[in-house]
Amino acid sequence: MPKKLLLIDNYDSFTYNLVQYFQALGLAVTVKRNDEITLAEAVDFLPDFLVFSPGPGTVENPDDIGVGPALFNAFRGKIPILGVCLGHQMMGHIFGGKIIKIEPQHGKRWPMKVLDKSGLFKDFNDTFEGMRYHSMVVEPGSFDEALKVTAVTDDGHQHIMAFEKPDEKLFAVQFHPESIGTKEGLKILENFIKS
C-alpha cells in the first residue's frame, strides 16, 4: 500500500504539477485547499508526509495560508513536511523569519548555490538552476530557531532559496521544484520522501 501524502493547496496553478511528481514517486496524494480541511480531519487522515503548496498572497494575511500554520504545528516533528514558495515563506514565518519584498522574479530560471548536500540536495552539484515565481523572500538571519539554510541564489543577493531543520524533517524551498524549469526538481522531491 503506498504511503499517503497530504498536499495543502494554497490556491496555486502549480499544485497539480506537485501531485503528478509525487504520484510518479509512488505516493498516494490527497489534495485539500487550505480552507477545506480542518485540523481534526487532517489528523484523522494520518498522512505520512505533509506538503504546503505555492500560492498567491502573503503570510501576513491569514486567509492566504488558511489552516496551514495549525497543521504545521500539529505535525511538526512527527512526519516529514515540505513547504514550496508560499509554503516556504509560511514555515519561515512560523520560525520567526521576516518576509521581505524583492524585485519580482516571475518565470525566471536562476542559478542556485547549494550550501549543504544532505537532505533535499543529496547527490547534487555545487550549483543548479531553479525556477522562480515570487516577489518575497525570508530575510537571512531573521529566524528565531536554528534553521539550516541549504541553498541561496548564486548572485550578489544570496536570497534564501531553501532551508531545513533535519532533526524534525522539516524542509522548505522558495523556488519551484515542480516546474519544468527546475531540471532537478523530481530529485529534490525524491530526496524529501527519502528523508
- Residue 178, sorted as left (phi over 0), alpha (psi -120 to 50) or beta, turns out to be alpha
Question: Between β-strands 49-52 and 81-84, what pairing exists: parallel, antiparallel or unpaired?
Answer: parallel
Residues 6+ apart with CB under 8 A from 114: 121, 124, 125, 126, 127, 128, 150, 151
> How many Å apart are CA 152 and CA 162, to the nearest integer?
7
Active site residue 139: no
Beta carbons of 35 and 67 less than 8 angstroms apart: yes
Active site residue 41: no
Whether residue 36 lies in the annotated active site: no
Catalytic residue among 164, 178, 184, 190: 178
Q: Which of the following is catalytic: 88, 93, 159, 176?
A: 176
CA atoms of 7 and 53, how far apart (whole Å): 7
Q: Which of 85, 88, 184, 190 is catalytic?
A: 85
Active site residues: 85, 176, 178
